[in-house]
Amino acid sequence: MVALVTGGGSGIGAAIARSLSSAGAALFLCGRRQAALAQLASELPGPVRFATCDVRDPSSIEGTVAQCVEGLGRLDVLVNNAGVFGPTPVEEVTLDAWDEVLETNLRGPFLFARAAWGHLRSSHGQIVNISSVAGVQGFVGNSAYCASKFGLNGLSEVLALEGKAHGIRVFSVCPGSVDTDLWVPHSEESERARMMRPEAVADLVRWLVASPRSIAVAPVVVTNFSSPFSQD
């Protein structure tokens, strides 16, 4: 199995890469920071390639998919994980900030799915879109983020419908708060300590792509048992 993971240098993406690699997958990692990608690639046991990629740039995405297939021979699983997050009251959201969130969190997965579609048709492959609980529930200060994740869940549903005829499965995973660097500017250390670990999401992704091909799975919402922001 060959898996391409976006945002693969840290956080949930790095955890997914480790989990899939431990299950025997060959990995192609992409992200913005080459040093982080290279460090993770050096730690994984199986075949690993990596490249920097701007998920807002169609040519960068097409080149990344081509490098993956050329270097590893095929593409079986696309994990759209790259994302940005920054709570801001709606009256303070600039158009540039809105565009950055939508282009990264929604347009990027669409462009990757489009670029990978032919290869996934050949392999009867799978797509895993890392969405968010903010894709099924609104949160104060998250107009752009919620819009992007609600949109990603809608995109996932359409991809699943269109992919079925070609043997392509599509999953949408919607985690609650996960202890990653995205939360550092927006939470206390004590709150992050109560968040779920990236490995919990990664193990779920590994289970989904290994699950029997006879089953389909609706968007999976996985949240913290107790709110990280309350000790009640």
Q: Which residues are catalytic?
A: 145
How is residue 103 annotated by DSSP?
Answer: I
Side-by-side strand order, sheet with 126-130 = 48-52, 26-31, 2-6, 77-80, 126-130, 169-175, 220-222
In the chain, alpha helices (H): 11-22, 34-43, 58-72, 95-102, 108-123, 143-164, 189-193, 198-210
Torsion angle defined by CA atoms of residues 32, 126, 106 and 188, in that order, rounded to the nearest 10 degrees = -60
Strand partners, 128: 79, 171
Query: Nearest 5°: CA angle at 218, between 213 and 221?
Result: 125
Nearest to 202 by CA among 170, 178, 185: 178
Nearest to 156 by CA among 170, 146, 143, 168: 170
Answer for the pair 202, 157: CB distance below 8 angstroms, yes or no.
no
